[in-house]
Amino acid sequence: KAGVTQTPRYLIKTRGQQVTLSCSPISGHRSVSWYQQTPGQGLQFLFEYFSETQRNKGNFPGRFSGRQFSNSRSEMNVSTLELGDSALYLCASSSGTETQYFGPGTRLLVL
C-alpha cells in the first residue's frame, strides 16, 4: 500500500500571499488530519476531515482552512501569509478508528 503523499514538498512564498497544500491519504483511509510543526511550538493540530466534513478544529486563525474531496484527498489553504506561518505542515491519515500515519510534510518558508 502506498503511504501518505503530500505536495509540494517545499514552498517559498512572500508575506501576504496565499498557499494551498495537498495531501493524499493511504488508500481506504477516510480521515485526514493536518498539523503544523515549528521549533518553538512543536506539533500542533490544525483540523481533521472525515468523509468530506470537518470533524475537529484546533486553535488556529481563520486564515487556515481546509477541505476534503470525495476521494478523501485533502487540501489546506493559508491566506494572507505571515512570517510566523513558516513551518513544516504534516498531514496524517487514518481509517478513522486506528492510529494516524504521517506524510513526508510540506516545508513552507514565508519571506
Partner 1 sequence: EDKVVQSPLSLVVHEGDTVTLNCSYEVTNFRSLLWYKQEKKAPTFLFMLTSSGIEKKSGRLSSILDKKELFSILNITATQTGDSAVYLCAVEGRRSNTGKLIFGQGTTLQVKP
| C-alpha 110: how far from chain center | 16
The nearer residue to partner 1, 19 or 92, going by C-beta atoms, is: 92
Report d(CA 32, CA 21) in Å as an integer.
Answer: 13
* Length of the chain, in residues: 111
What residues numbered 26-45 form the site for partner 1, per CB under 8 A?
31, 33, 35, 42-45
- Minimum CB separation of residue 51 from partner 1 in Å reads 12
For residue 110, give the nearest of 90, 80, 65 by alpha carbon.
80
Cell of 103: 506524510
Residue 99 touching partner 1 (CB under 8 A)? yes
- Residues making contact with partner 1 (CB under 8 A): 4, 31, 33, 35, 42-45, 48, 50, 55-56, 58, 90, 92, 94, 96-105
